[in-house]
């Protein structure tokens, strides 16, 4: 079974731009969660999608948004990028949600200059 894939793996953007990250879950997994990881804050939960609906949301500003498609692939968008958005963005998929075993992708390293 193929694992979770994320594209792109690395990204450099400038302040004020927007960015879209993509995540393809493991086949058969309907839940996709997104996380931001920084050295200072550690791993923080962004949101979770299940069957194309945002089911859970962390404490991030509205600049962070996402969506899920009918094939369970998910995209995350960050608008009006700030320097503090530089981080590793991880997505994870599971069969049923956050309290199920989650399988993480390799992450997208975003650098905002």
Partner 1 sequence: EDKVVQSPLSLVVHEGDTVTLNCSYEVTNFRSLLWYKQEKKAPTFLFMLTSSGIEKKSGRLSSILDKKELFSILNITATQTGDSAIYLCAVDPRQGGSEKLVFGKGTKLTVNP
Q: Which residues bind partner 1 (CB under 8 A)?
A: 4, 33, 35, 42-45, 48, 55-58, 88, 90, 92, 97-99, 101-107
With H, G, I as helix, E, B as strand and everything else as coil, classify residue 60: coil
Least distance from C-beta 34 to partner 1, angstroms?
11
- Residue 3 or 16: the one with the smaller Cβ distance to partner 1 is 3
Least distance from C-beta 99 to partner 1, angstroms?
5
Strands (DSSP E) contained in the chain are: 5-7, 10-13, 19-24, 31-38, 42-50, 53-57, 64-68, 74-78, 87-94, 103-104, 108-112
With H, G, I as helix, E, B as strand and everything else as coil, classify residue 23: strand
Q: How far apart are CA 59 and CA 113, in angstroms?
A: 24
- Residue 66 or 105: the one with the smaller Cβ distance to partner 1 is 105
- Residue 39 or 70: the one with the smaller Cβ distance to partner 1 is 39
């Amino acid at each position: 079974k193929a694992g979770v894939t994320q594209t792109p793996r690395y990204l450099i953007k400038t302040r004020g731009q927007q960015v879209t990250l993509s995540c393809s879950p493991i086949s058969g997994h309907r839940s996709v969660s997104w996380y931001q990881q920084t050295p200072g804050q550690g791993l923080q939960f962004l949101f979770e999608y299940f069957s194309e609906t945002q089911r859970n949301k962390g404490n991030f500003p509205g600049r962070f948004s996402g969506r899920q498609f009918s094939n369970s692939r998910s995209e995350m968008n960050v608008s009006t990028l700030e320097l503090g958005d530089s981080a590793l963005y991880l997505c994870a998929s599971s069969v049923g949600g956050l309290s199920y075993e989650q399988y993480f992708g390799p992450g997208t390293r975003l650098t905002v200059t």
